[in-house]
Chain A
Amino acid sequence: MITMVEDKALFLGCTIPGRIPFIEKSAKCVCEDLGINTEVLEGFACCPDPVGIQALDKDTWLALAARNLCVAEAANKGIMTLCTGCAMTLKSANHEMMCSHHSKEKVNAILSKVGKEYAGTLPSVRHIAQVLYDEVGVDAIKEKVQRPLSGFKVALHHGCHFLRPSEIIKFDDPFHPTKVDELVRATGAESVDYTEKMLCCGHGVSSESPDIATSMNLKKFRSIAKAGAQAIVVLCPSCYLRLEAGQRDVKKKFGEEFVLPVLHLTDLLALAFGHSGDEIGLKDHRPNPAKALEAVGISV
């Protein structure tokens, strides 16, 4: 059973194609398996980053985001992102353009310089996890599983912008989310409950103070280890990079060692759908999740 999902404009952002392209690969495998047609539209640029670029100048951030919305609107395809930051930026810009006449006029005046105008007819802006849950459905995903990840315990880290601001994201409870856990469980893996599940990865503050981010990471890793998880599952490349680098930083600063491979949700799904570790570049994760999977008797 495959639900018909409307064709999507795949918005890759910057971090996945430029730093960790293996996530782009696993996402494309998953979309193909589930029959989701995706196209990377020519004309997409940086979303831009809600943390860095918005902090420099909010008006520029909004105008550049609205420009990306125009590109998808012209193709009449809903946007699907792999990155929580991109989803948050584009959802926020869409929200502001739809709800504030003042912003819409101001931004469209800027966009006129590049011959664009946002009318507000974009079908949707969604993160891939939202598309999988709302449009494909947990049951259809279960049917595609060829390699059940039974016995694999993972700590799901949603990432702040996947859930908040909830009045704009409008997907799950901002502090007690359950929907992505269902997607994780569909693969056969166990999504462990842990105290610091909602703790931020620290990416936002790491630019100003790496030490604070490292202390936040220590708190998170201790909680994950205590819950007995063997890996971390994320929805965002910034969380991915921070939680990988965080393990090295924590070891350096506090002398505590954690071996928690980080996977994007699409990596987990691709493995469950039968793709090999080589195909989706598992060896480029640090540490390599293949070892953690082998420990529970799953060969990838």
Chain B
Amino acid sequence: MPIMTDNEFKRLVWATNFHESVNYCMQCNRCTENCPVHEQTDAYNPRQNILNAFLGVNNITEDNRLGIYGCTMCDTCDEVCPVKIPLTHIFQLFKNLAAARNISPDSFKGEGKAVHDAGASIPISPPIARKRGQMGLPEGYTLPVEEVQAIMQATGFETMLGNLTIEPKKKGAGEEEA
């Protein structure tokens, strides 16, 4: 199978690739062997992701969602890498590129929207506010929403948010009402 190189992708990887450590990846597989997600599924493989980053193989597609968002951000791979590749930083770039193309978990998009609208990823709901009052805690806190929004405008986040679509919420295994 021919390998297609994406030069723009390669340039972005290089910009994130501090100390050019990706050049020294010897494909020893220590990252993958220690990855708690890879242990559960072959669809997520940090070593393969670093190889793609090195070669400039842009694998950021809807079909490869688990290959990107399988990363649970535990930072184990960074710690065990013998040549100190900042793997999680590079995977963050993958996630950012995917997010810009609307390929990201809905909960992340919802969280982005909540922080934009309320300044908090989980705004205090009326029942929780009541509970807080009963416990002797302040019912809520004033959040600097305008400042958060001004920063989001300056970084282009607000524009990106406007382009993201969120599916109507299904109750998944990971979600429970508090």
Residues of A within 8 A of B (CB): 12, 14-15, 17-22, 24-25, 28, 40, 42-46, 48-60, 63-64, 67, 110-111, 113-114, 116, 160-161, 164-166, 174-175, 198-200, 202-216, 241-242, 244-245, 248-249, 252-253, 281, 284
CB distance A160 to B74 under 8 Å? yes
CB distance A215 to B120 under 8 Å? no
CB distance from B147 to the nearest CB of A (A): 4
CB distance B128 to A212 under 8 Å? no
- Chain B residues whose C-beta falls within 8 Å of the C-beta of A209 in the assembled complex: 41, 66, 69-70
CB distance from A104 to the nearest CB of B (A): 16
Chain B: which residue is nearest A71 at the CB level? Answer: B144
* Distance, CA A208 to CA B78, complexed state (A): 21
CB distance A202 to B72 under 8 Å? yes
* Distance, CA A214 to CA B145, complexed state (A): 35
- Chain B residues whose C-beta falls within 8 Å of the C-beta of A281 in the assembled complex: 135
- Chain A residues whose C-beta falls within 8 Å of the C-beta of B88 in the assembled complex: 165
When the two chains form the complex, which single residue of B37, B137, B160 contacts A25, counting CB atoms closer than 8 Å?
B137
CB distance A24 to B76 under 8 Å? no
Q: Which chain B residues in 123-178 approach chain A with CB under 8 Å?
A: 123-125, 128, 131-132, 135-138, 140-145, 147-148, 150-157, 160, 172-176, 178
When the two chains form the complex, which single residue of A175, A208, A216 contacts B79, counting CB atoms closer than 8 Å?
A175
User: Is B75 interfacial (CB-CB < 8 Å)?
Assistant: yes
Interface centre among B105, B115, B144, B154 (most CB of A within 10 A): B115
Q: Which chain B residues in 93-108 approach chain A with CB under 8 Å?
A: 93, 95-96, 99-100, 104-108
* Distance, CA A253 to CA B145, complexed state (A): 40
Given known A17-B141, A21-B131, A164-B75, contact A45–B125 (CB-CB < 8 A): no
User: Is B48 interfacial (CB-CB < 8 Å)?
Assistant: no
Chain A: which residue is nearest B115 at the CB level? Answer: A46
CB distance A210 to B151 under 8 Å? no
Chain A: which residue is nearest B145 at the CB level? Answer: A45
CB distance from B18 to the nearest CB of A (A): 9
CB distance B176 to A245 under 8 Å? yes
Chain B: which residue is nearest A253 at the CB level? Answer: B173
> Can you list 20 contacts pairing A with B, beta carbon distance less than 8 Å?
A14-B121, A18-B123, A19-B122, A21-B131, A45-B120, A46-B120, A46-B148, A52-B107, A52-B111, A55-B99, A56-B109, A58-B92, A110-B154, A164-B74, A164-B78, A203-B72, A205-B37, A207-B106, A212-B37, A213-B174
Chain A: which residue is nearest B110 at the CB level? Answer: A52
* Distance, CA A252 to CA B40, complexed state (A): 18
User: Is B22 interfacial (CB-CB < 8 Å)?
Assistant: no
CB distance B143 to A45 under 8 Å? yes
CB distance from B114 to the nearest CB of A (A): 8
When the two chains form the complex, which single residue of B70, B100, B121, B155 contacts A52, counting CB atoms closer than 8 Å?
B121
CB distance B155 to A40 under 8 Å? no
Chain B interface size band reads: 35 or more
CB distance A55 to B92 under 8 Å? yes
When the two chains form the complex, which single residue of B155, B175, B176 contacts A60, counting CB atoms closer than 8 Å?
B155
- Chain A residues whose C-beta falls within 8 Å of the C-beta of B132 in the assembled complex: 17, 21, 24
CB distance B79 to A164 under 8 Å? yes
Given known A57-B155, A199-B36, contact A248–B70 (CB-CB < 8 A): no
CB distance A56 to B108 under 8 Å? yes
- Chain A residues whose C-beta falls within 8 Å of the C-beta of B99 in the assembled complex: 55-57
CB distance from A245 to the nearest CB of B (A): 5
Chain A: which residue is nearest B106 at the CB level? Answer: A207
* Distance, CA A20 to CA B107, complexed state (A): 19
Besides A46-B148, A55-B108, A212-B70, 17 other A-B contacts (C-beta < 8 A): A17-B141, A18-B124, A18-B125, A19-B122, A24-B132, A28-B137, A42-B141, A53-B111, A54-B95, A57-B160, A63-B151, A67-B151, A204-B71, A206-B174, A208-B70, A209-B70, A210-B174
- Chain A residues whose C-beta falls within 8 Å of the C-beta of B143 in the assembled complex: 44-45
User: Is B73 interfacial (CB-CB < 8 Å)?
Assistant: yes
- Chain A residues whose C-beta falls within 8 Å of the C-beta of B71 in the assembled complex: 204-205
When the two chains form the complex, which single residue of B40, B112, B128, B141 contacts A215, counting CB atoms closer than 8 Å?
B40
* Distance, CA A281 to CA B153, complexed state (A): 40
Chain A: which residue is nearest B78 at the CB level? Answer: A165
- Chain B residues whose C-beta falls within 8 Å of the C-beta of A208 in the assembled complex: 65-66, 69-70, 105
* Distance, CA A20 to CA B104, complexed state (A): 26
Interface centre among A12, A20, A40, A49 (most CB of B within 10 A): A49
